[in-house]
Amino acid sequence: MFFTRQNIAIRTVLGTMIVLLSLLFGTTVLAECQPGQMQEANLAYQSAAEFLATRKWDQAIARLQSIISVCPEHVEATRGIGLALMGKKDYAGAIPYFQKVVELRGDKVEAGDFANLARPFAKLKKYKEARAEFMKAQLLAPDDCGVLFNLGVMHYAAGYHTRSVEVLEHALGVCPQIREQLLTKLSKSAEKAAAQQKRNGNTERAAYYEGLTNKYGGQAGGSTTYDMVKQKMKAKDYKAAVDLLNQMLAQDPNQKGALLTLARAEDALGNRRSSVAAYEKYLVLSPQDAKATGSMIQVMVEAGMCSEANARAAKAAADLASQGRKNTAPVMYSWGLALECLGQYDAASVKFQDCATSGNERYAAYGARQVERMSGLKAVEDAEKKKAAQGK
């Protein structure tokens, strides 16, 4: 994908701009044209430019071909054929014309000429060739945002991930107007660079690029960062996921999805109280989420916050009662866990029995098993009490 801009990125001049330029300057490169032929070529080019502007590719090509048949070194006509062929998606056909433009311009070649040549290579997925042309363009225009962005993309596509990071970081410094696009590409390039360095055994460099992945991923737009979070969660890299989520929440503390995922990631890391804190913030925004409420209460139990879990479950059961037993089964199950934690096996059994008969397929099975457990625990407790009484 190529970055399109109006003032700073390389772009192909179509439409009335072509006509205006030819009319204003009145000059074209006609090195081998005779004086009488020049006027004819200029008039023909003006009408060809109109065809280009209106995307009438076949008419444009026919007119432009007639020009170069008279004036073979007519740069604008040669370039125009390349542009028209690109419009027709004949990328392979466009390449020789853009190459011819570079040849004709000689020492006067510009960055845009190399960029034009790079585009059909990229469309054909010849990324190394496209990369080479954008590198030539960068030599002529080292701070051109379009060149830098597209070169970074081509480095990435060709597998030169560390070079991609280098170029895109430079672009980030000189092209603030495309910051979001750059951050998105940077985070992906850094991630690939980290993996590449790790495969090569360069642990220190891999760690460096992993740091850049988190840095730029956290600064990128929410959807991009969240895609990275999902990748980290899937890979069970919970620490990296937490870092990215905290960066997201620093920019917008009310991102519900980020808060819920943060709670789960912290739980996976064993940071129970941090998990509970994230759940609480999420539930302020989504107070009717019975499943998340049940999950939070369970984490509270695992953190040893049994009394707090019991109180929270009682309140949730009352607040969410209108949802019905099937939907509130997660809360009842976790309430049973809290009561078990407090040693109140009979009361816990009641809650688990409620789950077993709730109609919730998942929690019905869980609840039934826990009812049996409570019976066992109660029997052990009774036996111990009897033994203790006999010993007195």
Q: What number of CA atoms fall less than 13 Å from residue 83's CA on the CB side? A: 27
Q: For the chain, how long is the longest CA-to-CA vector?
A: 127
Cα distance between residue 228 and residue 173, in whole Å:
23
Cα distance between residue 95 and residue 332, in whole Å:
68
The pLDDT of residue 222 is 57
pLDDT > 90? residue 87: yes
Residue 283's pLDDT band (boundaries 50, 70, 90)?
Answer: very high
In the chain, CATH 1.25.40.10 covers: 1-140, 223-282
pLDDT > 60? residue 18: no
Confirm if 244 and 232 have CB atoms less than 8 A apart. Answer: yes
pLDDT > 60? residue 29: no
CATH architecture of structural domain 1-140:
Alpha Horseshoe (1.25)
Distance from first CA to last CA of the chain, Å, rounded? 84
The pLDDT of residue 299 is 97
> Taking the model in full, what pTM does it have?
0.57
Confirm if 196 and 162 have CB atoms less than 8 A apart. Answer: yes
Q: What is the mean pLDDT of the chain?
A: 87
Q: What is the mean pLDDT of residues 306-326?
A: 95
Residue 6's pLDDT band (boundaries 50, 70, 90)?
Answer: very low
Residue 16's pLDDT band (boundaries 50, 70, 90)?
Answer: very low
In terms of C-beta distances under 8 Å and separation of at least 24 residues, what long-range contacts does 62-69 make, across chains too?
67/41
Cα distance between residue 301 and residue 306, in whole Å:
5
Q: 264 φ, ψ to 5°?
A: -70, -40
pLDDT > 60? residue 11: no
Nearest to 57 by CA among 77, 75, 76, 83: 83
**% of the chain surpassing 70 pLDDT:** 89
Cα distance between residue 133 and residue 111, in whole Å:
9
Pick from 36-45, 123-132, 266-275, 346-355: least confident: 36-45
The pLDDT of residue 391 is 65
Residue 30's pLDDT band (boundaries 50, 70, 90)?
Answer: very low
Confirm if 262 and 242 have CB atoms less than 8 A apart. Answer: yes
Residue 381's pLDDT band (boundaries 50, 70, 90)?
Answer: confident
- Residue 93 DSSP one-character state: H
The pLDDT of residue 12 is 37
- Amino acid identity of residue 271, one-letter, is N
- Residue 108 DSSP one-character state: G
The pLDDT of residue 231 is 84
CATH architecture of structural domain 287-392:
Alpha Horseshoe (1.25)
pLDDT: is 219 or 222 the higher one?
219
pLDDT > 50? residue 23: no
pLDDT in tens, 145-191: 999 999 999 999 999 999 999 999 999 888 888 888 898 899 899 99
Q: Could you tell me where the DSSP H helices lie in the chain?
A: 16-25, 35-53, 57-70, 75-87, 91-105, 111-123, 127-140, 145-157, 161-174, 179-199, 203-219, 222-234, 238-251, 256-268, 272-285, 290-302, 306-319, 329-341, 345-356, 361-390
CATH 1.10.357.10 corresponds to the domain 223-282: no
The pLDDT of residue 44 is 82
Nearest to 341 by CA among 309, 367, 293: 309
**Residue bearing tokens 């939907």:** 327
Confirm if 366 and 330 have CB atoms less than 8 A apart. Answer: no
Ranges of beta strands (E only) in the chain are: none
Rg (CA), the chain: 34
The pLDDT of residue 219 is 72
Q: 71 φ, ψ to 5°?
A: -125, 85
Q: What is the mean pLDDT of residues 4-19?
A: 36
Cα distance between residue 66 and residue 77, in whole Å:
9
Residue 236's pLDDT band (boundaries 50, 70, 90)?
Answer: very high
pLDDT > 80? residue 65: yes
pLDDT: is 214 or 14 the higher one?
214
